[in-house]
Amino acid sequence: MKLGFVILFAHDLAPMLAFYKDAVGFRAGAEYPEWVEFDTGSARLALHKAGPDDPETRGVGLFFTVDDVDALVRRLAQRGLEPQTPPVDQDFGFRTVAYTDPLGNRVEFGEPLAP
């Protein structure tokens, strides 16, 4: 068994698309008015339009492994995004940086540190 999707529900997909597709740079696979999915290299990340009475996803923490955290920070800064926390080398072997998506979810990126 393996994880297939992480699904974030939002009433307005436009700001979420701007964050994950335009700023972060994930490529959209299937894209419909109420559903967009991104292939992240492992599990897929999907955005799903929430119904008017449905709650939006809140309080989810996402962690994506990247090759170069500092390059990502520079690229996102060019798009007007500032990190929630600055890049830091962690005791658990990753250099990490955290952002907040348009729904307030914590989105962390980590670069494995050399042993």
Mean pLDDT across 58-86: 91
Pick 62-115's CATH classification: 3.40.1350.10, 3.40.50.620, 3.40.309.10, 3.10.180.10.
3.10.180.10
Q: What is the pLDDT of residue 6?
A: 87
Sequence-distant (6+) residues with CB within 8 A of 103 are 8, 10, 16, 56, 57, 58
The residues pairing with 107 across neighbouring beta strands, listed in sequence order, are 62, 99
Contact 81/72 with Cβ under 8 angstroms? no
Q: What is the pLDDT of residue 52?
A: 81
Q: What is the pLDDT of residue 1?
A: 46
Contact 110/102 with Cβ under 8 angstroms? no
To the nearest whole percent, how much of the chain has pLDDT over 90? 49
58 pLDDT more than 80: no
Q: What is the pLDDT of residue 3?
A: 67
pTM across the whole model: 0.78
**Secondary structure of residue 94 in the 3-state scheme:** strand
pLDDT range class, residue 49, cuts 50, 70, 90: confident
Domain boundaries, given as residue ranges, for the chain = 1-50, 62-115
Q: What is the pLDDT of residue 17?
A: 92
Taking the mean position of all CA atoms in its chain, how far away is CA 48? 14
Mean pLDDT across 24-37: 89
| CATH superfamily ID and name for 1-50 | 2,3-Dihydroxybiphenyl 1,2-Dioxygenase, domain 1 (3.10.180.10)
95 pLDDT more than 90: yes
11 pLDDT more than 50: yes
